[in-house]
Amino acid sequence: MASTDTRSSTSTGTSAKDGKPGGTTTIADNVVATIAGIAVRESDGIYALGGSASRALGSVRDRVSKSPDPTRGVKVEVGETQTAVDLDVIVEYGEPIAEDAKDIRTRVTDAVETMTGLEVVEININVLDVHLPGSDGESDDEDGGRRSGRVQ
């Protein structure tokens, strides 16, 4: 967990030097993971986050809870003032992976640093797979996914 002291010094007391109330703000790892996950999902060229096993388990969990898990495929390590992020992604076929990775790093860094004040020191992106159109039950065929006349 990250902890940010709003006082300008480490002295104990109830107010800071400027007369405003002091205190400590603690940011849970899950908060950073959620922010990063949402930022990645807003990036172009990303089909999904997480590996096939975590996505399968996650889809069941999503149906039960009736809400998607924004932290699926996201792992974070949060320190006092810095954070590191690991992402498991599946990209859309035909997307320039290097450009998508650069876009993801920019979006995640901007979102996490703006919302938490933590410095993002590292974002590791593991591209696990490439999603092919029609490979998961979607159909690009004109017949709407019906079987051909060859088999019944």
- For 31-85, the pLDDT digits (tens) are 999 999 999 999 999 999 997 544 444 444 445 444 468 899 999 999 999 999 9
Q: Which amino acid is at 149?
A: G
pLDDT of residue 77: 96
Residue 26 in tokens: 């603690």
Please tell me which residue, 151 or 76, carries the higher pLDDT value. Answer: 76
Please tell me which residue, 72 or 12, carries the higher pLDDT value. Answer: 72
Residue 29 in tokens: 């790892």
pLDDT at 8 over 90: no
Q: Evaluate whether 16 touches 7 at the Cβ level (below 8 Å).
A: yes
pLDDT at 110 over 60: yes
Mean pLDDT throughout 5-25? 57
Closest CA to 30 of 68, 67, 76: 76
Mean pLDDT throughout 77-94? 96
pTM: 0.69
Mean pLDDT throughout 128-146? 64
Distance CA 13, CA 20 (A): 12
Please tell me which residue, 129 or 57, carries the higher pLDDT value. Answer: 129
Would you place residue 90 in the very low, low, confident or very high pLDDT band (cuts 50, 70, 90)? very high
Distances (CA, A) of 26 to 1, 43, 56, 80, 136: 7, 28, 32, 9, 41
Residue 9 in tokens: 């010094």
